[in-house]
Amino acid sequence: MSIAGSLRYLSEDQAKQYAADGFVILRQVFDSAEAAALDCEANALWWRKDLIDVKNIRCRWQNHVETEECTFECFDPVIDISPTMGGFADDRRILDALHDIYGEPACLFKDKLIFKPPGAVGYGLHQDYIAWKTFPRTFVTVLIAIDAADADNGATEVFPGYHKHGSIMPEDGMYHEIPLDKIDLARGVQLHLEPGDVALFDGFTPHRSAPNRTDKYRRQLYLSYNAHSDGGPQRDAHYAYFHEWLRERYAEYGKTETYFR
């Protein structure tokens, strides 16, 4: 990845920070009307009870941190059921910020809406890059805050600088959590965000999140991209491969009656 000579959206400092740290926060990219539209759409999606089913591989689940009850927490993908969310994935400000990082156009690779409802346990330490044969090494995630995120509701925490060194865990095509002793945990930066704020982080940036210990959701739209020269548009191919991979993982636990809707 290279920083473009003339920047379209990022300031010089933001571009430098991204290159050095593997993440950057952009405040108030979206105004209050746009943030309200996201909030309204996320509310409507929460009520898509026709889709929320343990057999539907669009849905992800987490245990409640105290009761251990299995709780719906994410739609992956989301733009195919929400043109509104799709509009944010195509937004010029987002695409220009990505162009500044890549020095070339970005292609949407993956999209998910994490609701993080009250009690959801959060995510262990990991890098998003997973060594599937076509997974792009230029993977960058754009996180759009729908709700404010802080330490209480399990803000995402990133670990700066590690993105320069590639995969920490074996590149064997499996998802791996990173043992905590492989990272200097004191370097962690929690992404404390307000609605309309955006954070970008690299596919090799280790990150994690704590449980949501409040009584409200902490919703974030995660849009992930690749540089055009790194495989071109490949979202459909990604989801075809991902669904096959997920079905295999579920089958290992005896869960064979899955579907995608």
CA angle 7, 220, 238 (to 5 degrees): 75
Reduced to 3 states (helix: H, G, I; strand: E, B; else coil), residue 220 is: strand
By three-state DSSP, how is residue 237 classified?
helix
Query: Is 220 one of the binding residues for ligand AKG (CB under 6 A)?
Result: yes
The answer to whether residue 238 forms part of the interface with ligand AKG (CB under 6 A) is no
Minimum distance from residue 124 beta carbon to ligand AKG (Å):
9
Position 211 contacts ligand AKG (CB under 6 A): no
Write out the two tokens for 56. Answer: 């539907």
The reply on whether position 235 binds ligand AKG by CB under 6 A is no
CB-nearer residue toward ligand AKG: 177 or 184: 177
Residues 134-163 that bind ligand AKG (CB under 6 A): 154, 156
Tokens encoding 168: 């920490």
**With binding defined as CB under 6 A, does residue 58 bind ligand AKG?**
no
What mask of x and - would describe binding to ligand AKG in positions 96 to 125, judged by CB under 6 A? ------------------x-x-----xx--
DSSP assignment of 181-218: GGS-GGG-EE--B-TT-EEEEETTS-EEE----SSS--
CB of 123 or CB of 245, closer to ligand AKG: 123
What minimum distance in Å lies between the beta carbon of 161 and ligand AKG?
18
Residue 118: CB partners within 8 Å, gap ≥ 6? 212, 214, 215, 216, 217
Q: Which residues bind ligand AKG (CB under 6 A)?
A: 114, 116, 122-123, 128, 154, 156, 207, 209, 220, 222
